Structure 1
């Protein structure tokens, strides 16, 4: 982005402050997701009176996040990142309060509505990573995006550990102990929304559009002298409403955007599909098929092994995000996507072929998190710069929507695949998806190298 030497330091300062504000807001708001996931299934069973509804909270959260992605992107397109992000967090705050109300009243429907609100907040948190690159130069986009993603780590880890301190808060307020973690989550969301509302000024998206309009001022003046713009022509920086069709059409026009979208969506589907069935596989592996850990002498060991494995997996997803961002900027977007998918292939091979060993499964889950991290960060960065500025926001919303749906489908079908072909077969199915995207990334790298060779027909003109 071209700017005058006088304005450039100001833009750099705004970008640094934007990343810091987004990171702090992510840290505060991610707590609610972790708390809802960890406690939601318990509440669903308690309020509904049936184990059949145990997964309802997680399912509603996932679907709500997917369905909210495009409306939030459209709002950001019209009003700026600040309004879009704050609106998502405000909805999550309302959802968290509904969850507290569901505990107090014992009404199951309020829990489901609350989970939907929290899902909208999760969609807002996803879009925060794109806000980090609105003003970033091409050499630092990966690192800016990864810094915001990394901030989720603390909130995601802290959320599930709020049960005990939350119980104290709940009792102090005269609420049931299990409602306490949601009170803490609501406080975190309120602080995050206030931080974005006050600190995200100037709005990074609106400022980026102003700078883009200034850079093309001479061209716009020339076009104005030639006559009014034709029907459907858009002036630089003018937002338009988003839709799934429009987003997919914009992606289809760019081979790089197609690869980026496939990388983000495919990595999420593989990760969720394998990860969601790993606790069940570990329970069967340690306690025996069909035996509940509660009825088995090794039940404590099962919980410890599952907890350690999933914690290591989450660490793989987020803890090394800055490293993945650095690789994205230094090694290249497509190269890092290829590395991520190579890691995903290695992950499913380790956990699949070593399905009889808890150690192999744990190592595979760590690799699964690392592969997801590399592919998601590099893919999101490539997607942000592979479409025109006028289409960027709706394409980002389309990406988040498809990623959420892929996670929901992956999580839903993984149980069926597990029952048909076992944990090893589930990993191999994920490996086929990962291998297909890896092949596409490698083909793209080879094509670019061939094009860059001095003796090639393209290079020689």
Structure 2
């Protein structure tokens, strides 16, 4: 038994005592997650805003501008897998804390690579930097471990909306951070990664020190007593025998998140390159990406309530429709039209938000503590790999065709989730 398990909750004092303990720790957990997500949001904004531009500058090719997104998304995939395994064994605190620490070290490496002009160091560091992205997303699950079933999407939304503060501030600090970096004798584009290093390391420290008692370990400890109170029996998550398989909803939720991730990453990655080609400055790019990231996270409180009240399937369908609208708007927007680009990227973020929260809720609904963290980590690997592929292919597609073709393709692809949802619902496997 771990120290966290020994000090968290009664486990055998009955359903009423378990409910009191669950509610107390849930409030504390959400507070700590909110603090870490504010910091984590600032960290992830660096790669989104200037990663492609830094690669284009150091690699000397627009066709390779999608490499950073691919690398830190591959790093995100590996980290998601590892966090899932570590969390299943040792809890959220250790898994998330180490993930953010790795992301911070990766950001430091990017700064050193930019300063020295070392392409190999840049590529390795971007891969490690991706750990922060995975951890930032995995943190949303920490808010659901102790949430009531009818409040799971809302709990996800609280974790996600907290990311908004840092994520929106980050892109809009590109110019002052660039000036700060230049003052230190560093390339301007390394400035946002300085912020990322500090933000990710701070987020990891907060989680390691304050996420006590661990919500996942407590949920696993309380599960047998709660199952018995419901009259369905129950056994310890550590009892002999294999963990149960996740329900169908977990796979459907994964499909929703994968498709929305591909559409969002493909269009988002090439937007800064597209804007630079039309002579927009870093301030304009920071504004557009800042609004995009705000739309990814800020609507979460409303989205979470809608997913809990209206249902997972209707909100996932709304994600596909919204992403299609984003792709069409981006494709039709003239390169020098800031307003339409802002609208397109805002819709892109909103559609992703709908898909991530509805998909996450389905995954949590379809798992139990005995398999939840492992399944969540594995599914987030698929999401990260999808983003990596989208990052690479977006630069290839844009170099071979145009930003308009890329945007339309992303929007149409997102609609594929609708047949999956309708099939699942026809089988009575979806809420």
Matches within 5 A, 1:30-109: 30-41=41-52, 43-44=54-55, 54-103=65-114, 105-109=116-120
User: Partner residue of 2:209?
Assistant: 198
Match of residue 326, structure 2, among 331, 342, 347:
347
Alignment of 1:407 with 2:418, yes or no, is no
User: Are 1:398 and 2:374 matched, yes or no?
Assistant: no
Over aligned residue pairs, what C-alpha RMSD do you find?
Answer: 3.7
Q: Report the Cα distance in structure 2 between the residues aligned to 1:106 and 1:424, rounded to whole angstroms.
A: 33
Distance, in Å, in 2 between the alignment partners of 1:176 and 1:415 is 27
- Aligned to 2:236, the other structure's residue is in SS state coil
1:281 to partner: Cα distance: 4.9
Asked if residue 435 in structure 1 is aligned to residue 428 in structure 2, the reply is no
Quote the residue 1:9 is aligned against: 20
- 8 A Cα contact 2:180 2:191, kept in partner: yes
Aligned residue pair count? 416
Aligned-residue offset at 1:154: 1.6
Partner of 1:117: 128
Is 1:338 aligned to 2:338, yes or no?
no
Gaps of 5+ in 2: 1-10
Structure 1 residue 238 displacement after superposition: 2.6
Distance 1:413 1:78 in 2: 36
DSSP 3-state at the match of 1:139 = helix
Match 1:314 to one of 286, 289, 293: 293
TM-superposed CA distance for 1:151, in Å, is: 1.6
1:146 lines up with 2:126 in the alignment: no
Superposed CA deviations along residues 174-231 of structure 1, whole A, max 9, x for unmatched, are: 66475665444333333322211121111000000000133356999x99xxxxxxxx
Give secondary structure in 2 for the equivalent of 1:155. helix
TM-score w.r.t. length of structure 2: 0.83
Partners in 1 of 2:396 and 2:310 — Cα distance? 39
Q: Which moved more, 1:61-70 or 1:112-121?
A: 112-121
Structure 1 gaps of 5+ residues are: 224-234, 284-291, 294-298, 453-461
Q: Is the 8 A contact 2:49 2:272 kept in 1?
A: no
Larger radius of gyration, structure 1 or 2? 1
Q: TM-score of the superposition, structure 1-length normalised?
A: 0.78
1:323 to 302, 314, 326: 302
Shift in Å, 1:361: 4.8
Contact residue 216 and residue 236 of structure 1 kept, 8 A? no
